[in-house]
Chains A and B, each alone.
Chain A
């Protein structure tokens, strides 16, 4: 497929391209067969298959058995391969009638990436090894990975995101190889990129949620190297999603966009390398061994190839940029990119710094959450600010009057948000700045919607709700983007609040005894135990009071798995829109359950992280939906331009119509 694709691209012979396309379908069929076979082996507990013997057990419930496919190395790579082949087949199918010179090259590049993974699967990481004698039972998956249903969502979403970023990468390389370096590769991968980005975002949020619900320390993001590994490509992909708009509109930043998407792809590989090689200490690094060097070699190969091709095509990449004014949408995108790249660099530096120091002088240092929080808060706040400025700045240039018109209300709303935060009791500087910018951004987003709706109502003469629906379907990309922004603002505010105003206590309580934490009272009632099929659960029951009223019970527990020496805790959470009460059972009286030690945490605003994540997903879905016409008789372009003019451009001379 690779060979025929690239050869077909160069020779433009339809026959070769067709073979490549059927090759993509065939690879997908083969990977699906492998995947289904493995699922059947897992679900029927066929312990003669090496992977099943390692992660399966008769006691694991079927749901966790099914998802144990990605609970260990070989299965994950198999799953990765399946998704990659699915993307490959889908790209081939969607573009089957395309005359574009890009597609065969892109298909070839995807096939090449696939070769690496399929090669790993068939040589070093074959999950279908034979085990003899056949064991009667297996150890079951890692207890942490069979403790919460979100494990069924978090890894697949991340994989769909990671692997999906191969598509724009393949098209970028395709553009370089074919020499067609205009905006075509960006246009044809736009929706692929947004979709992959959305999967990645959902995967990251689901991972944070999983960590919150399972790991029992009341946090959701630990700057763990592997969390960082998923965050790094997200950062560069986000930068890419913004900077491509500059290329689409203005034809600028060609090399930069190619660099960004290739860096994104390299970071996904690097993330997989970090996760799978076990080079860094992490909850996720469940393996070690030879695949580390293989991944490094592959990363190096991609990098060298990329530099070579860029050098080869450098003559075609030169695009003289012109800008009408420094204060413009273009500049805000460039600043956005600068911040995202600096952010990426910093997280990458922090993540790998312990390795570098150890390599340089043999010392061991740690770079953990205090460092990452220190560096990411200012960058995050600056990005938040830009999120409000960028969309309100017009392309090309603006005038002071327009600026005033665009920013007056948002600035007022921003100031009001600070005041509100202050009145509610916030006295810390970063949260207050965050509130200011959040209010500012939300106001600009609202203004953008208002502007769109008002214009729509004038043009089409429809009611406001209809106008809203129409702008969402006609210009779904732009307004979907704003919805994503709103979701991100919700997440950032929730991060600022929960990061600053969480409080906790750890207390040993006798049976019947209560403790107070904020508005909550928690009474220890009893310790109980239950033998479940796959584990032994020791649980505790606490009655929760809120301002003196009984509001329910919470049952944090400890789970004992046969293949783990340490018990795995399951915290219990009582969520309201305002805050979570989070209880973790830390220790208990093992003789007769007379006392229990709990950590109780009041985590304000945490539910808004998940809500924000859902808003982001919603916006992204909106943005990737195919653009539809509004279903009414088409209004001529001139008519729109004319009807638009009086309101939007009152201060400008009549526009030249096309």
Chain B
């Protein structure tokens, strides 16, 4: 909440710096719309299908969604611009699509938004500098944990081996599966 408040003025300024943010209801073109919207005549389902199956268009949609899913909506809480229906997000989605259509790579589009909003706009931190911590540490923890567990298990296993060879038979040699069954049976009675 407090962070929201801190960001609100900035985002508002940015929002208005987008010329097309104050979207007029008339003639608004939703991003990702395959079919041309200019025509007033109702379109048939068939028209739509041909537009949808245009592979280039579908590919652009998919790439735009991929990029948009990684950009944070500046006026929402924890949503990507793909998920948000705020005007600003939808405008940003349109920009993403246009830039991709103009031949920019996803990285270039991301860089553009980073230059405008700062690194904060990326929902997945760039893997450099201090951010490497967030990528490396889980792997390190998992590996260390694995090594630790392996050593411990081996130690226990060798302790167990010593015990069995010393104690030879006795209750320790009871079959594992009947041990389970005996337990169940005992619980039952």
Contact = CB atoms under 8 A, between A and B. Distances in A.
A281 B3 contact: yes
Contacts of B160: 322-325
Interface string A394-414: 111110000000000000000
Interface string B19-48: 000000100111111110100101111001
Interface in A260-296: 278-283, 285-288
A302 B59 CA distance: 54
B184 A323 contact: no
B3 A321 contact: no
Contacts of B37: 508
Interface string B143-159: 00110010011111101
B168 interface: no
A280 B120 CA distance: 14
26 contacts: A278-B2, A321-B152, A322-B159, A324-B164, A334-B152, A338-B146, A342-B138, A346-B138, A366-B121, A366-B123, A367-B125, A368-B72, A368-B80, A371-B124, A394-B177, A396-B176, A398-B176, A506-B30, A510-B40, A514-B48, A586-B85, A587-B25, A641-B185, A649-B177, A656-B173, A656-B174
A549 interface: no
A361 interface: yes
A350 interface: yes
A5 interface: no
Given A216-B85, A507-B35, A514-B48, A281 B4 contact: yes
Contacts of A320: 159
Interface of B: 1-4, 25, 28-35, 37, 40, 42-45, 48-49, 52, 69-70, 72, 77-80, 83-85, 90, 118-125, 130-131, 133-134, 137-138, 141-142, 145-146, 149, 152-157, 159-161, 163-164, 169-171, 173-182, 184-189
B45 A360 contact: no
Given A338-B145, A366-B122, A506 B31 contact: yes
B175 A655 contact: yes
Contact of A505 (B32, B133, B163): B32
A222 B185 CA distance: 46
Given A346-B138, A629-B189, A645-B178, 5 more contacts: A278-B2, A569-B85, A597-B28, A648-B178, A656-B174
A139 B79 CA distance: 27
A324 B78 contact: no
| 5 interchain residue pairs of minimum CB distance | A368-B123, A217-B83, A323-B156, A370-B124, A346-B138
A150 interface: no
B51 to A, nearest CB: 9
Given A641-B181, A656-B174, A288 B1 contact: yes
Given A334-B153, A335-B149, A641-B182, A283 B124 contact: no
A216 B83 CA distance: 8
A582 B3 CA distance: 32
A515 B48 contact: yes
Interface residues of A, number: 98
A367 B145 contact: no
Contacts of B122: 365-366
Contacts of A287: 1
Among B1, B122, B130, B159, the most chain A Cβ lie within 10 Å of the Cβ of: B1
A514 B124 contact: no
B183 to A, nearest CB: 8
B87 to A, nearest CB: 9
A341 interface: yes
Interface stretch (A76-84, A118-126, A154-162, A632-640): A632-640
A152 interface: no
Contacts of A207: none
Nearest to A373: B124
Among B69, B134, B180, the most chain A Cβ lie within 10 Å of the Cβ of: B134
Contacts of B181: 455, 640-641, 644, 648
Given A597-B28, A658-B182, A281 B78 contact: yes
Nearest to B5: A288
B18 to A, nearest CB: 17
Contacts of B25: 587, 589-591
Contacts of A371: 123-125, 134
A383 B131 CA distance: 27
Given A321-B152, A587-B25, A635 B124 contact: no
B176 A395 contact: yes
B49 to A, nearest CB: 5
Main SS of the interface on chain B? Answer: helix
A508 B152 contact: no
Contacts of B156: 252, 321-323
A357 B138 contact: no
Contact of B79 (A222, A322, A396, A635): A222
A526 interface: no
Contact of B130 (A321, A361, A513): A361
B189 A637 contact: yes
Interface in A210-253: 216-219, 222-225, 252
Contacts of A531: none
A6 B177 CA distance: 42
A342 B145 contact: yes
B3 to A, nearest CB: 5
A13 interface: no
Interface string A280-320: 11110111100000000000000000000000000000001
Given A357-B131, A637-B182, A369 B123 contact: yes
Interface in A498-541: 505-508, 510-516, 521
A367 B33 CA distance: 30
B160 to A, nearest CB: 4
Interface in A467-518: 474-475, 478, 505-508, 510-516
Nearest to B44: A514
Contacts of A428: none
A561 to B, nearest CB: 17
A19 interface: no
A368 B120 CA distance: 10
Contacts of B121: 366
Given A217-B83, A516-B45, A368 B124 contact: yes
B45 A370 contact: no
Nearest to B7: A281
A630 interface: yes
Contacts of A629: 188-189
Contacts of A368: 70, 72, 78, 80, 123-124
A599 B83 CA distance: 10
B150 to A, nearest CB: 8
